[in-house]
Amino acid sequence: MRPLGEADEVEGADPGSLLAGPRNVKPYVARRGEQYMGKQQLAHFHQILTSWKHDLMMEVDRTVTHMKDEAANFPDPNDRATQEEEFSLELRTRDRERKLIRKIDEALKRVEDGSYGYCLETGEEIGIKRLEARPVATLSLEAQERRERRERQYGDRDDRYR
């Protein structure tokens, strides 16, 4: 099984799902001459990331409560199998969310150290619109496209070919 990449987290995710992105993101309106990733922009993205993380953590709590409340030993094997499959699906979703929370934490560290919003590969600006669409993005659009082409070409998700 291969690890999930940025594109995988969004593919197959319900558009209302927290895996697809944070909820209720208000577009940032940059003022003329405003410095890229200045205090206001960093505060905007810090708020988006912390809100998204909070929503994900609430989902974790809801899952634990749901699984405790719904856990039953059904006498019918079909009912038991259905419940196990539902729990399995829910746990896979929570695992993907756990990985996403780790990425959110890394993005919050970059906000704190001032490197947020810049491509880890090229050092160029990622862009406000891309970051609002995918706040945990670490690569500019061009760098992400190059990486995806390499993955298709080599059939590998490893970063050895950087």
pLDDT at 16: 60
Closest CA to 94 of 24, 18, 23, 21: 18
Asked whether 131 and 125 are in contact (CB, 8 A), the reply is no
- In this prediction, the residues of the chain whose per-residue pLDDT falls under 50 are 1-12, 161-162
For residues 9 and 20, give the distance between their C-alpha atoms in angstroms, rounded to a whole number. Answer: 7
Q: Identify whether the C-beta of residue 19 lies closer than 8 Å to the C-beta of residue 100.
A: yes
Q: What is the fold of 35-161?
A: Four Helix Bundle (Hemerythrin (Met), subunit A) (1.20.120)
pLDDT recorded at residue 28? 84
* Full-model pTM: 0.75
Long-range contacts of 83-92 (CB under 8 A, 24+ apart): 90/63, 90/66, 91/63
Q: In the chain, what are the domain boundaries?
A: 35-161
